[in-house]
Chain A
Amino acid sequence: MSQTIAIKSYEDLLNVKERYINRHKQYEYTILVCSGASCISSNCLNVKNALEAELEKAGMRDKVLLKQTGCVGFCDVGPIVIVEPDGVFYCKLKPEDMEMLVQRHLVGKEIVEELCFLDNKSGERVPYVRDIDFFKEQLKIVFAKCGVIDYSDIDEYIATDGYKAIYKALTEMTPDEVIEEVGKAGLRGRGGGGFPTAFKWRAARQAQGDQKYVICNADEGDPGAFMDRSLLEGDPHAVIEGIMIAGYAVGADKCIVYVRAEYPLAVERLTAAIEKAREYGLLGENIFNTAFNYDIEIRIGAGAFVCGEETALINSVEGKRGEPRQKPPYPAEAGLFGKPTVINNVETFGNIAPIILKGSEWFAKVGTEKSNGTKVFALAGDISNTGIVEVPIGTPLRKVVENIGGGVPNKKAFKAAQIGGPSGGCIPSELFEIPLDYNNLTEIGAMMGSGGLIVLDENTCMVDIAKFFLEFTVDESCGKCTPCRVGTRRLYELLEKITEGKGTMEDIDKLEELCYHIKENSLCGLGQSAPNPVLSTLKFFRDEYVAHVDKKQCPAGICKSLLSYVILEDKCTGCTLCSRVCPVGCISGSVKQPHKINQDVCIKCGACFERCKFSAIVRK
């Protein structure tokens, strides 16, 4: 595609840009095919192939540039295609739609309404990206190029000012100035803790050591979060550039990217991007003719959430059990192989190049007083528009859920948002207006975490949700320290007891006592934050706990042991459907006679409830 050149100067960067622009002049249209992992699972590649064939048929192959991009963010409606320069957004596409798209849009110059996005709220089709609520309210800094450029084309990355920031850092700034700039930007780590990035870098810069390392944490363990993955897949060079600047700032010459094994596509694309960068001389020795040498290696995890914790990650990279180490010493003093090491999250690195390029002042304008910049969230759960969204820090939760996310579907009410994953907490509907920033969230006992944002509707049992997270931590605890190894299991068992209707009021107190014990005594962040989902639901939904214990009721109708399915005699028509689906055969009654459920045998599977067409079965 592009001939290889070693990039050694600013001119070289400009040349690549020019070459790229020249090469693309011929195209009348650019069609972006989202090829993020989600869209790939939705078969976007078949759509792309069909599109290619149709273009061929229409004789437009050389007028249309077909580009595979990373995740556009709106994964739920994939496969997605955006036609530029018109800015038209087509979604939920099938290969057979492509003929229509080519013929009507490209040949006929008209928008194909029926393939456009259907807004659930208004019931109307919205053709232009700029008009779709999901995109309208976002502000993209980290994901600015993701979903726009071809992730595999380093030239396009360079043509969009890529690798200018590292050039600027290397040639115009001292390492201290780089750290200063990042400090002034007020960038806080996006991996969960929200620790000021410049602090860490400074510590590692000042630490003594012949060898220093940078580690990029791409373990993304929060179940329900996928922004790091999307960025790696959609704009790997942005992460590489951020990693390089970090290396320059702290004096490292080697970076390790630790990616969870569940992300093969991210590994594939990042590997390809690293190879390209090496080919261009952007990684290797004497980068931009300076003394800066740098290389990047990828390591793959093996299925352990705790390996996202930085010291556990280091152990894992050293080939050991991924058990956390005592801190201090912090990695910045003694990290990988005992050497000073900076560990940052993928998204954190994604912020670096823009900060260096556009300046800390520009960056600091976005966000709130205490937390600058944007935050990327992975919206999921009971919400209309699931996907990746990037908003200024401090954006109210309501705006994210309702305006961008399109609200809770099926006319159900918003109950809470779970943020921060297994370390985080719940935000109840009373706090729907809360601006999402580090401090606010910590204050209410939740945390920003890595950005998983799960919306829960009225049919959610909060005790059950707490139990779900505890089951996760019990599974993922490394087992090294007592409070977490045994304590989280006992927490889980207490929750289980409560959801089974066997709990007592003393159990709730005991639960709380144990939560604080685990928080205060555990060795690492996993244990220290594992009780958060329990504590925050106890804080905002204590009445639900009490209902389970006191009234032996699950208000949301989720906890099986506390449920019963009953047939309303006056409504039952005796159609026998229910008795035919019951897996344990506990529904009796003759045809056209009211049926009855034998409660002693019923396993509460709910099959009958879903089957009855006459709403004669109720869940109590």
Chain B
Amino acid sequence: MKEVRECCCHHPETKEELYEALNQVLDKYERKESNLIQILHMTQAIFGYLPEDVLKYIAEEMDLPLSKIFGVVTFYSLFSTQPKGRHTIQVCMGTACYVKGADKVLNEILDKLGIKLGETTKDGRFSVQVMRCIGACGLAPAISIDGDILKHVTVNMVDDILKRYE
């Protein structure tokens, strides 16, 4: 559907590289508590999720209690302490999409993948989440896979869509 985006940044691989990237983020945001949410966003982007050890490291670096950080992490639905699948399917369940049958699409996706909401498939291919409006209401029902928005999705399209992602 969408042209493949060439990633220009060197994606860090080793543990040292990952932490190096994290340190840069911490430096950039000056380890300030008021930047915690932004730091967590970036950290999740680096590690794919928010592992316990990483949050401990952040807690120490920022001189914040881990319990506080964990409270923040579990408050916001976009943060995850569990590894996610290679592809994240976000089904919009906003009003516009709901009245256009988003619930049926969601159920179809879950059925086809054989998982429950919030879970990841055994082969680590997909995670499924529900979003409340991804701002594509005019294209309802909409789903987003790895950030690409698919519009006017119907139950019948689900199979084809899933096949496109390995």
List A residues at the B interface (Cβ < 8 Å).
37-38, 40-43, 45, 75-76, 220-226, 229, 261-264, 299-305, 316-323, 337, 378, 380-382, 386-388, 418, 421, 452, 454, 456, 460, 465, 468-469, 472, 475-476, 478
Q: Is the beta-carbon distance between A302 and B79 smaller than 8 angstroms?
A: yes
> With A and B bound together, what is the CA distance between A388 and B33 in angstroms?
38
Q: B28 an interface residue at 8 Å Cβ cutoff?
A: no
Q: B122 an interface residue at 8 Å Cβ cutoff?
A: no
Write 14 A-B pairs (CB below 8 A) sorted by A numbering.
Answer: A41-B142, A41-B151, A220-B135, A226-B136, A262-B131, A301-B37, A319-B32, A322-B76, A380-B138, A381-B96, A381-B140, A468-B98, A476-B132, A478-B75
Chain B interface, >50% SS class: mixed
> With A and B bound together, what is the CA distance between A9 and B147 in angstroms?
42
**Chain A residues in 8 Å Cβ range of B34:** 317-319, 337
Contact of B76 among A43, A304, A452 (CB under 8 A): A304
Q: Is the beta-carbon distance between A318 and B75 smaller than 8 angstroms?
A: no
**Chain B residues in 8 Å Cβ range of A225:** 133, 137
**Chain A residues in 8 Å Cβ range of B161:** none
Q: Is the beta-carbon distance between A300 and B38 smaller than 8 angstroms?
A: yes
Within 8 A of A (CB), among B69-105: 71-72, 75-79, 92-100
Q: B35 an interface residue at 8 Å Cβ cutoff?
A: yes
Within 8 A of A (CB), among B92-143: 92-100, 131-140, 142
Q: B36 an interface residue at 8 Å Cβ cutoff?
A: yes
How far, in Å, is A526 (CB) from chain B's closest CB? Answer: 13
**Chain B residues in 8 Å Cβ range of A475:** 132
Q: Is the beta-carbon distance between A318 and B33 smaller than 8 angstroms?
A: yes
Q: B9 an interface residue at 8 Å Cβ cutoff?
A: no
Q: Is the beta-carbon distance between B36 and A319 smaller than 8 angstroms?
A: yes
How far, in Å, is A71 (CB) from chain B's closest CB? Answer: 9
Contact of B75 among A38, A300, A322, A418 (CB under 8 A): A322
Q: B56 an interface residue at 8 Å Cβ cutoff?
A: no
A41-B151, A380-B95, A452-B95 known; A226+B33 contact, CB < 8 A: no
Q: B54 an interface residue at 8 Å Cβ cutoff?
A: no
Q: Is the beta-carbon distance between B96 and A454 smaller than 8 angstroms?
A: yes
Q: Is the beta-carbon distance between B96 and A380 smaller than 8 angstroms?
A: yes
> With A and B bound together, what is the CA distance between A305 and B75 in angstroms?
11
Residue of A nearest to B75 (CB): A321
> With A and B bound together, what is the CA distance between A41 and B149 in angstroms?
6
Q: B40 an interface residue at 8 Å Cβ cutoff?
A: yes
Residue of A nearest to B44 (CB): A302
Q: Is the beta-carbon distance between B137 and A224 smaller than 8 angstroms?
A: yes
How far, in Å, is A453 (CB) from chain B's closest CB? Answer: 10
> With A and B bound together, what is the CA distance between A118 and B94 in angstroms?
28
Residue of B nearest to A319 (CB): B36
Residue of A nearest to B29 (CB): A319
> With A and B bound together, what is the CA distance between A452 and B36 in angstroms?
31
**Chain B residues in 8 Å Cβ range of A264:** 147
10 A-B pairs closest in CB distance? A223-B94, A75-B138, A319-B36, A302-B76, A380-B96, A224-B95, A303-B78, A223-B133, A303-B77, A41-B149
How far, in Å, is A138 (CB) from chain B's closest CB? Answer: 15
**Chain A residues in 8 Å Cβ range of B162:** none
List B residues at the A interface (Cβ < 8 Å).
1-3, 32-38, 40-41, 71-72, 75-79, 92-100, 131-140, 142, 147-151
> With A and B bound together, what is the CA distance between A421 and B135 in angstroms?
14
Residue of A nearest to B103 (CB): A468
Residue of A nearest to B2 (CB): A43
> With A and B bound together, what is the CA distance between A476 and B32 in angstroms?
27
**Chain A residues in 8 Å Cβ range of B133:** 221-226, 262
How far, in Å, is A390 (CB) from chain B's closest CB? Answer: 15
**Chain A residues in 8 Å Cβ range of B151:** 38, 41-42
Q: Is the beta-carbon distance between A468 and B78 smaller than 8 angstroms?
A: no
Residue of A nearest to B32 (CB): A319
> With A and B bound together, what is the CA distance between A472 and B71 in angstroms?
21
Contact of A380 among B76, B140, B149, B150 (CB under 8 A): B140
Q: Is the beta-carbon distance between A262 and B135 smaller than 8 angstroms?
A: yes
A321-B75, A322-B75 known; A316+B132 contact, CB < 8 A: no
> With A and B bound together, what is the CA distance between A323 and B32 in angstroms?
20
Q: Is the beta-carbon distance between A299 and B135 smaller than 8 angstroms?
A: no
Q: Is the beta-carbon distance between A472 and B40 smaller than 8 angstroms?
A: no
> With A and B bound together, what is the CA distance between A41 and B134 in angstroms?
12
Given A223-B92, A380-B140, 12 additional A-B pairs, CB 8 A: A43-B2, A223-B95, A223-B97, A225-B137, A263-B135, A317-B34, A318-B33, A319-B33, A320-B36, A321-B71, A381-B99, A387-B138
> With A and B bound together, what is the CA distance between A300 and B79 in angstroms?
13
Contact of A418 among B32, B38, B95, B147 (CB under 8 A): B95
Identify which of B75, B94, B133, B134 gathers the most chain A CB atoms within 10 Å of its CB: B133
**Chain A residues in 8 Å Cβ range of B98:** 223, 468
**Chain B residues in 8 Å Cβ range of A387:** 138
**Chain A residues in 8 Å Cβ range of B96:** 223-224, 378, 380-381, 386, 452, 454
**Chain B residues in 8 Å Cβ range of A456:** 99
**Chain A residues in 8 Å Cβ range of B134:** 262
Q: Is the beta-carbon distance between A221 and B132 smaller than 8 angstroms?
A: yes
> With A and B bound together, what is the CA distance between A73 and B75 in angstroms?
34
**Chain B residues in 8 Å Cβ range of A41:** 136, 139, 142, 148-151
**Chain A residues in 8 Å Cβ range of B149:** 37, 40-41
Q: Is the beta-carbon distance between B95 and A421 smaller than 8 angstroms?
A: yes
**Chain A residues in 8 Å Cβ range of B71:** 321
Identify which of B3, B95, B147, B149 gathers the most chain A CB atoms within 10 Å of its CB: B95
Residue of A nearest to B76 (CB): A302
A42-B151, A299-B38, A421-B95 known; A321+B135 contact, CB < 8 A: no
> With A and B bound together, what is the CA distance between A378 and B96 in angstroms?
10
Q: Is the beta-carbon distance between A37 and B136 smaller than 8 angstroms?
A: yes
How far, in Å, is B51 (CB) from chain A's closest CB? Answer: 17
Q: Is the beta-carbon distance between A302 and B150 smaller than 8 angstroms?
A: no
Q: Is the beta-carbon distance between B95 and A381 smaller than 8 angstroms?
A: yes
> With A and B bound together, what is the CA distance between A45 and B148 in angstroms?
14
> With A and B bound together, what is the CA distance between A35 and B62 in angstroms?
40
Q: Is the beta-carbon distance between A319 and B138 smaller than 8 angstroms?
A: no
Q: Is the beta-carbon distance between B41 and A261 smaller than 8 angstroms?
A: yes
> With A and B bound together, what is the CA distance between A38 and B1 in angstroms?
14
Residue of A nearest to B149 (CB): A41
**Chain B residues in 8 Å Cβ range of A320:** 36, 72
A43-B1, A304-B76, A381-B100 known; A454+B135 contact, CB < 8 A: no
**Chain A residues in 8 Å Cβ range of B100:** 381
Q: Is the beta-carbon distance between A319 and B132 smaller than 8 angstroms?
A: no
> With A and B bound together, what is the CA distance between A303 and B79 in angstroms?
8
Identify which of B93, B97, B135, B150 gathers the most chain A CB atoms within 10 Å of its CB: B135
**Chain A residues in 8 Å Cβ range of B97:** 223
A41-B150, A304-B77, A381-B100 known; A226+B135 contact, CB < 8 A: yes
How far, in Å, is A183 (CB) from chain B's closest CB? Answer: 32
> With A and B bound together, what is the CA distance between A318 and B64 in angstroms?
13
Q: Is the beta-carbon distance between B137 and A226 smaller than 8 angstroms?
A: yes
A302-B79, A321-B71 known; A38+B136 contact, CB < 8 A: yes
**Chain A residues in 8 Å Cβ range of B138:** 38, 75-76, 226, 378, 380, 386-388
